[in-house]
Amino acid sequence: MRIDVITIFPEVFEPVFSSSMLGRAAEKGLVQFVTHDLRDYASDAHRTVDDYPFGGGPGMVMKPEPFFRAHEAVTADDDRPATTILLCPQGAPFRQDTAVVLARAERLILLCGRYEGFDERIRSLADLELSIGDYVLTGGELPAMVVVDAVARLVPGVLGDASSAEEESFSMGLLEYPQYTRPASYAGRDVPDVLLSGDHARIARWRREQAIIKTARRRPDLLRDLDLSDAERALAEAQTHVQTSEERT
């Protein structure tokens, strides 16, 4: 997979793309990260990428020409089909299922904005608009990093154990079950006996139940469309009632 990022701050991506899991993915040749300075595609000596909004109003708006020039040049640089993503607060919520779909793409192009917003015409470049939450940041760089991290780790071979991604929160529609490691007892708190039993079937059942309990208490909205057995649905409903009672007290 190749991931291109168009931004006015390409330098902020270097430490992220060269560190930890993303750095290892690049070293293995599994993911190629390429950043592009939007100012290189400005048409004036001052490398201007923003201007005052028509109709008045606060702030500056990012100009369309640099983005169109950059996108054309970046697209022409590689003949693989690309999905272009615009990072903005008005976009669709970025979720795990979106990351799974994007991880199958051959190439992604991410457009990062700044200032008061984009010239509306820039939206025509995007196949998809994504938001990482209902809040406003100073630019699209941090959301782009979030999307890249979530997607790249799903590319086959990036994670050391492919099953890791399958058992994480949201991957199966549930929050992840509690995890423990050594020591088995610490500060008067013990690891549940079931995890020390060696009974893998029993452990699997316990983890499934714990994932349902945690989801019901923390994110009951995730349970609405899940295919749960009658017993699992009853367990979830009981935990939801417990959470509601605790909140009232």
CATH code for the domain of 226: 1.10.1270.20
Based on the fold, state whether residues 120 and 221 are members of the same structural domain: no
In terms of DSSP bridges, do strands 32-37 and 2-7 run parallel, antiparallel, or are they unpaired? parallel
Instruction: Measure the CA angle with vertex 121, ends 100 and 123; round to 5°.
Output: 10
Based on the fold, state whether residues 59 and 142 are members of the same structural domain: yes
Based on the fold, state whether residues 144 and 177 are members of the same structural domain: no
Residue 226 has pLDDT above 80, yes or no: yes
- 75 close to 99: Cβ distance less than 8 angstroms: no
Based on the fold, state whether residues 67 and 147 are members of the same structural domain: yes
Burial of 137 (0-12, 13-18, 19+ CB in 10 A): middle
Burial of 68 (0-12, 13-18, 19+ CB in 10 A): middle
Based on the fold, state whether residues 148 and 171 are members of the same structural domain: no
Based on the fold, state whether residues 129 and 55 are members of the same structural domain: yes
The fraction of the chain above a pLDDT of 70, given in percent, is 93
Q: What is the reported pLDDT for 240? A: 79
Residue 163 has pLDDT above 90, yes or no: no
pTM: 0.86
- Rounded mean pLDDT, 199-205: 96
Report yes or no on 240 lying in a domain: yes
Q: What is the reported pLDDT for 225? A: 86
Q: What is the reported pLDDT for 185? A: 96
Report yes or no on 113 lying in a domain: yes
Q: What is the reported pLDDT for 115? A: 79
Based on the fold, state whether residues 39 and 103 are members of the same structural domain: yes
- Look up the domain containing 203 and give its range: 167-248
- 235 close to 223: Cβ distance less than 8 angstroms: no
Per-residue pLDDT tens digits for 66-76: 999 999 999 99
Q: How many separate domains does the chain show?
A: 2
Mean pLDDT score across all residues of the chain? 93
Q: Among residues 152, 184, 215, which one ends one of the domains?
A: 152
